[in-house]
Amino acid sequence: MTVISATDLSKRYGDVLALDCVDLTVEAGETFGFLGPNGAGKSTFIDILLGFVAPTDGTLSVFGHDCQDDGVAVRERVGVLPEGYAPFVGLSGRQHVEYAIRSKEVDEDPADVLSRVGLRGDAARPASDYSKGMRQRLALAMALVGDPDLLVLDEPTTGLDPNGAAEMRAILREEADRGATIFFSSHVLEQVEAVCDRVGILQNGRLIATDTIAGLRDAIGGGTKLVVTPDRVDDEALGAVERVAGVETVVERDGTIEATCTNDAKMDALVELHDAGVEVVNFRTEEASLEDMFVEFTGGTRA
């Protein structure tokens, strides 16, 4: 069953085309990662999904309900962690969750929900005094109320320390195991790689790739990463690797040369370095990370 369906979705703000004819489907039970550099249009897509803004063209539906015309029916089945939100002034963490419980007309114990996100001990404090990470946990708690069929999480790990991020991932896995569909937008590619079944890469408002992480790796020719430690890293050394057929990207990092390339190109790259007079001190190969693939697809723009 299709949960999210976007067809020719476009949004223009004055002269700026924030989304350009985006077609996307997310199926039930998927954990879908939505990637893109700043300004790519990720938040605009989520804003349309949540009914905050209307598309200029095209349609976006969730569970068959149009997000503009039938937004309440959409949100009855969706838990949302919005980006850039602030808590309600004057309400404690517990009162926030109680508000979500009453709004969704479900019967849950706020203490249980707050325990799940690690906020039970701070439940009585005003939420406006919470740290950024605690606010993220609170919004996640509100999103989890009522066991929604779809979780929409916009940059959910912002402000979380590594332990908090790991706890967030664990909760998302539990939700996925429960059968919930998860739509996950993040700049932290390791997070996306750790939890997502499939990803979409958005750039300049256009969806430039949608696939599983393995599929993306295949699409860039096998997706091997060659990490070489040469005796020197200069333009000549980088150029030598770049010239090899099958090499997709070459970057310098901490005195090493990192190249994403096909399996066949690895040895050719090493030979080319040797021929250029560069001594190879050490080398290793890795699978290309999601970040490497992201750089490849977006032409060098970091998330």
Q: Which residues bind other proteins (CB under 8 A)?
A: 13, 44, 47, 50-54, 71-72, 75-76, 80, 82-91, 95, 99-100, 102-105, 139, 142-143
Q: Compare residues 51 and 221 and give the one whose CB is closer to other proteins.
A: 51
Q: In whole angstroms, give the CA distance from residue 247 to residue 128.
A: 50
Q: Compare residues 109 and 264 and give the one whose CB is closer to other proteins.
A: 109
Dihedral sign for Cα 193, 302, 153, 24, please: negative
DSSP track, 186-198: -S-HHHHHHH-SE
User: Shortest gap between Cβ of 62 and other proteins (angstroms)?
Assistant: 12
User: Shortest gap between Cβ of 53 and other proteins (angstroms)?
Assistant: 4
User: Shortest gap between Cβ of 280 and other proteins (angstroms)?
Assistant: 51
User: Shortest gap between Cβ of 84 and other proteins (angstroms)?
Assistant: 5
DSSP track, 169-186: HHHHHHHHHHT-EEEEE-
Q: Compare residues 37 and 51 and give the one whose CB is closer to other proteins.
A: 51
Q: In whole angstroms, give the CA distance from residue 192 to residue 94.
A: 29
Q: Compare residues 13 and 300 and give the one whose CB is closer to other proteins.
A: 13
Q: Compare residues 99 and 283 and give the one whose CB is closer to other proteins.
A: 99
DSSP track, 255-302: TEEEEEE-TTHHHHHHHHHHHTT--EEEEEEEEPPHHHHHHHHHTS--
User: Shortest gap between Cβ of 247 and other proteins (angstroms)?
Assistant: 41
